[in-house]
């Protein structure tokens, strides 16, 4: 059974790279430039959500993770925050994210974080 990943990023190139790498690692990836998959989270039932803090035109990724972690239905889904911010470790902690990936990221590190948390 493949582990399911919901991947939300603000940059198509980064989204495509992460999607491809995780797919090659054997994950079932739902990739999006919008938060649409988050709205269908109970249908998708992901093992892990990876979300950028700066999604265009919506709430911040950290706010979305905080909402997921505050809801008994979704609090057990692992959540990873990604960002170029130098305050990312603190932001991830504040929103109760399980982990974080700093951008620009190392592919191997990204895969390790996902495998560890999925």
CB of 18 closer than 8 Å to CB of 7: yes
Domain ranges of the chain: 4-117
Q: How far apart are CA 63 and CA 108, in angstroms?
A: 27
What would the pLDDT profile of 50-102 be if each residue is shown by its tens digit?
999 999 777 999 999 999 999 999 999 999 999 999 999 999 999 999 999 99
Instruction: Give the pLDDT confidence of 6-52 residue by residue, as tens digits.
Output: 999 999 999 999 999 999 999 999 999 999 999 999 999 999 999 99
Domain covering 4-117 assigned CATH 1.10.10.10 in the classification:
no
95: number of Cβ within 10 Å: 23
Tokens read off for 6: 């919901």
């Amino acid at each position: 059974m493949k582990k399911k990943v919901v991947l939300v990023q603000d940059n198509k190139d980064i989204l495509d790279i992460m999607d491809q790498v995780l797919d090659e690692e054997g994950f079932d990836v739902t990739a999006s430039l919008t938060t649409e998959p988050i709205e269908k989270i109970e249908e998708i039932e992901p093992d892990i959500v990876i979300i950028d803090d700066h999604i265009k035109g919506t709430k911040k990724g950290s706010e979305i993770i905080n909402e997921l972690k505050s809801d008994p239905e979704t609090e057990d889904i692992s959540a990873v925050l990604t960002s170029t911010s130098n305050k990312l470790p603190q932001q991830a902690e504040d929103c109760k994210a399980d982990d974080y990936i700093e951008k620009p990221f190392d592919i191997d590190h990204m895969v390790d974080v996902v495998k560890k948390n999925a």
